[in-house]
Amino acid sequence: MADDVFTPGIRAGRLEQGAYAAQFSDLHPPLDGHEALVAADRCYFCHDAPCIAACPTDIDIPLFIRQIATGTPDAAAKTILSQNIMGGMCARVCPTEQLCEQACVREIAEGKPVLIGQLQRYATDHLQQQGIHPFVRAEATGKTVAVVGAGPAGLSCAHRLAMLGHDVVVYDARPKPGGLNEFGIAAYKTPNGYAQAEVDWLLQIGGIRIETGKALGAGLTLDQLKADHDAVFLGMGLGGVNALGAVGEDKSGVSDAVDFISELRQSTDLTALPIGRDVVVIGGGMTAVDAAVQAKLLGALNVTLVYRRGRNRMNASPFEQDLAASKGVRIVNHAVPVAVHGNGTVCEIEFEYVDEAMKGTGEMLRLPADQVFKAIGQTLQGDGLPDLEGRKIAVTGAGRTSVDGVWAGGDCASGGDDLTVTAVAEGRDAAMDIHSALMG
């Protein structure tokens, strides 16, 4: 983004000074105590609750809702956090409408589920805002574990290992921990510095040391980590970005959506963040929607999200798609980029419409654009990695890789669905398997 400041059409301060706070306020304001009790009262407390089966972290949802209903939200929080130590963040960003709430009996019977996600946030916020950490470390085992990546998978793994008595060193390439939660999620989903507050709270368990500015490569090798530690967990996510494959994509004004979101997340003054008048986002996942919506919230006049397949094939949930549309984002489907036009700087981008088989129809679309964001998937980065399955680290069981003593989880590992909640579950399960291996 910094290189685009002087690109024609891209400028900062498109909105009035006071508008930014309202634009980037909490997407779902928290429930107050009375609202939480009313919402909890709608739960049937099913014995064979389908919502539990739909939760990747297996939280006992009826139990924690009953605990809220009986006036013990801190007990509810411990029920949640014992399965998902990042339950507060997941309550904010998890696609509950596709997981637990979709499976809710109330949703099936009435089309209106229990507000599971908002109740989860109510309970975890109640506990964390008091500075309470409900878990204590077991007796020290004398074992040390290296965790590469301070994102949801890595932090979940580190916390569980520390709780079991192991000493953990977390290495991360970024200047501060949090991974996707800190750098890659729309600002309106986690305002007021929540991502870092949750990390600080999580580290209260003790036994975890974080070293930033370190990524797998020349200065940090897998062989050296194995030599220095009793086990290694890889949870570094996906650092690279796929190429667009269109003529002229190297023009000024074309950048990666993940970089845009990261810069916005770390900005202390949104009025100084430059945005185009005509913005085009290419992709169909959550990153694409987050970039498109935030471009609109920053004051872009026209924002178009273009995806190569139909709406039903988009990785972004229907809720996220509807959110984008409600903010004024135009969504174009079945179109692929073929050329970026402009004299050194993008001024238009050309697409060809394709059919369901991704075959070109010959029908073209040209959109004015002074800023183009690529959100077409990320790639794994790192040297000397274990065996791969496709473009990710191959794992079996609870994250075991082809290298003895090395586990992996989260977006960098095969088999997941690239959700924060899934990464947390994989980190937790790998930690339990590492513990079993280390303790015989």
**What CATH number is attached to the domain comprising 116?**
1.10.1060.10
Query: Both 342 and 419 in a single domain?
Result: no
Separation of alpha carbons 432 and 148, rounded Å: 17
- Final residue of a domain: which of 128, 161, 191? 128
Q: What is the pLDDT of residue 381?
A: 85
Is residue 136 in a domain? no
Instruction: Write the CATH number for 314.
Output: 3.50.50.60
Q: What torsion, rounded to 10 degrees, do the Cα atoms 332, 335, 340, 345 define?
A: 20
123 and 179 in a single domain? The answer is no
Q: Same structural domain for residues 256 and 188?
A: no
Same domain, residue pair 365 and 262: yes
Q: What is the pLDDT of residue 6?
A: 46
Q: State how far the Cα of 96 lies from the Cα of 348, in Å rounded to an integer.
A: 37
Please report whether residue 18 resides in a domain.
Answer: yes
Q: Tell me how far apart the alpha carbons of residues 85 and 73 are, in angstroms, rounded to a whole number.
A: 16
The sign one gets for the Cα dihedral 397, 402, 405, 411 is negative
C-alpha–C-alpha distance, residues 273 and 20, integer Å: 11
pTM of the model: 0.95
Asked if residue 40 is part of any domain, the answer here is yes
> Is there a domain that residue 133 lies in?
no
User: CA-to-CA distance for 216 and 252, rounded, in angstroms?
Assistant: 30
Kindly report the CA angle at 58 between 54 and 64, in degrees rounded to 5?
A: 100
Query: What does the pLDDT read at residue 4?
Result: 41
Same domain, 353 and 386: no
Do residues 48 and 13 share a domain? no
Same domain, 235 and 384: yes
Question: What is the total count of domains within the chain?
Answer: 3
Nearest CA to 86 out of 409, 428, 430 is that of 428
Give the torsion sign (CA, 391, 395, 399, 405): negative
Q: Are residues 187 and 120 located together in one domain of the fold? A: no
How far, in Å, CA of 103 to CA of 139, rounded?
40
Contacts of 351 (CB under 8 A, 6+ apart): 306, 332, 335, 336, 337, 338, 364, 365, 366, 367
Do 235 and 307 fall within a single domain?
A: no
In a domain, 139, yes or no: no
Residues 38, 8: one domain?
Answer: no
Answer whether residue 135 is part of any domain: no
> Distance between CA 391 and CA 371 in Å, rounded?
29
Judgement on whether residues 359 and 260 belong to the same structural domain of the protein: yes
3-state SS, 413-427, equals ECCCCCCHHHHHHHH
Torsion of CA 124, 125, 131, 133, to 10 degrees: 10
Structural domain includes residue 395: yes
- Strand-pairing partners, residue 307, are none
**Domain final residue pick, 377, 393, 411:** 377
Task: Give yes or no for a contact between 246 and 339, defined as CB atoms under 8 angstroms apart.
Answer: yes
Q: Please give the structure tokens belonging to residue 49.
A: 């609750």
Q: Which domain holds residue 245?
A: 2-25+241-377
Q: What is the mean pLDDT for each group of 10 consecutive residues in the chain (440 residues)? A: 55 93 93 98 95 97 98 98 98 95 96 98 97 96 98 98 98 96 95 96 98 89 97 94 93 96 96 96 96 98 97 94 97 98 96 97 97 94 90 96 98 89 98 97
Residue 290 and residue 409 in one domain: no
User: Which residue, 75, 103, 128, sits at the end of a domain?
Assistant: 128
Q: Which two tokens stand for residue 173?
A: 């390439």
- Specify the pairing of strand 378-379 against strand 388-389: unpaired
Q: Is residue 111 part of a domain?
A: yes
